[in-house]
Amino acid sequence: MSGSVTRFARREWGPLFGTVRQGIVVRRWRAVPMTLAAVCLTALFQLVQNQDWGYQPVQNIGSVRAEDPLWLSLLRTPLSLFVPALDLPVWGALAQVLLVFGIAEICVGRWRTLGVAYLATLCGTLYARVGIALGPGTPFGLPASDAQVVDTGPSAAVVGLAVYVCWRYRAWWTGGAVVVAMVVEVIIKPNLAGKEHLAAIAGVLVLIGVQAWRERGRGRGPGRGPGQDGGVEPLPGTRSWKPPITS
């Protein structure tokens, strides 16, 4: 039994763990500068928005609601990734950003991490408008009152990044567990945040489908890292290290 668990863990998390460990050992905090900046920015927004003088400025630059004009929502969306929800513990948001953004930054790179995070957040933002237009009488609809609810903040980006990294490193069961958890969340508590998480996942799955199709066209298997033969590109400061990608 223990042998089967060990083999499963190696297949599921071995390549991912190897990449993260190598990045941290070789570069330490320099492996995740964007993640550390994101954590600091999220903490700063939390601190400011809890002050009497700071709540409205944070709302003006980083809070997105479906009732806002579309151009204003799109303008605020990049910073909305780092504005934590007021009704949830900020330490949970900070831990999510540190863990998931950090793993993604090491495994897929800084700019791809930001791109996937923005795509996931944008999908949630746009879904809210579509859902309200559909109305509560449809499976994907939302009540009109949700137009005044602030979007999810970092959580949609975290969920989207988790699914993307799991696909890239073939952690199929882990990625599936993330998707199932978000579906269960919506079943138990069908609110705007839960449905935005599903919209974020849907957007990332479309991106994954496009990338997998392009990689098959270039003769590379789906879900492989950006290096040759299913590996990932060596980290700066290393020679030719590649984690073993298992089938």
Asked whether residue 98 carries a pLDDT value surpassing 80, the answer given is: yes
- Cβ-contact 85, 150 below 8 angstroms: yes
pLDDT of residue 221: 54
> How sure is the predictor about 89, in pLDDT bands with cuts at 50, 70 and 90?
confident
Q: Is the pLDDT of residue 240 over 70?
A: no
CB-based burial label for 236 (10 Å; 0-12, 13-18, 19+): exposed
pLDDT > 70? residue 226:
no
Q: Could you tell me the sign of the dihedral formed by the alpha carbons of 185, 189, 194, 195, in that order?
A: positive
227: pLDDT strictly greater than 50: no
16-70 pLDDT, tens digit each? 999 999 999 988 888 999 999 999 999 999 999 989 899 899 989 988 999 999 9
pLDDT at 106: 95
Candidates 41, 37, 64; CA nearest to 126 is 64
**Is residue 122's pLDDT more than 50?**
yes
For the record, the structure tokens of 30 come out as 């320099």
Q: What mean pLDDT is predicted for residues 81-100?
A: 87
Better-scored residue on pLDDT, 220 or 50: 50
Max mean pLDDT among 83-97, 169-183, 208-222 falls in 169-183
pLDDT at residue 95 above 80? yes
Q: Which two tokens mark 24?
A: 């941290």
238, pLDDT greater than 60: no
Kindly state the DSSP code that residue 227 receives in the 8-state scheme: S
CA–CA gap between residue 41 and residue 82 (Å, rounded)? 6
Q: What is the spatial distance between Cα 55 and Cα 49, in angstroms, rounded to a whole number?
A: 4
- Among 100-104, 216-220, 234-238, the range scoring the smallest mean pLDDT is 234-238
| CB of 105 closer than 8 Å to CB of 31 | yes
Between residues 226 and 166, the one the model is more confident about: 166
Spell out the domains of the chain, with CATH numbers in brackets: 2-230 (1.20.1540.10)
- Looking at residue 230, its pLDDT comes to 35
pLDDT, residue 232, reads 43
In the predicted model, is pLDDT for residue 243 greater than 50? no
Average pLDDT over residues 168-189: 94
pLDDT at 1: 63
- Give the per-residue pLDDT at 182: 95
Helical segments of the chain, H only: 2-27, 33-49, 55-62, 70-80, 90-96, 102-108, 110-134, 154-168, 172-188, 192-217
How would residue 177 be classed by pLDDT, with cut points 50, 70 and 90?
Answer: very high
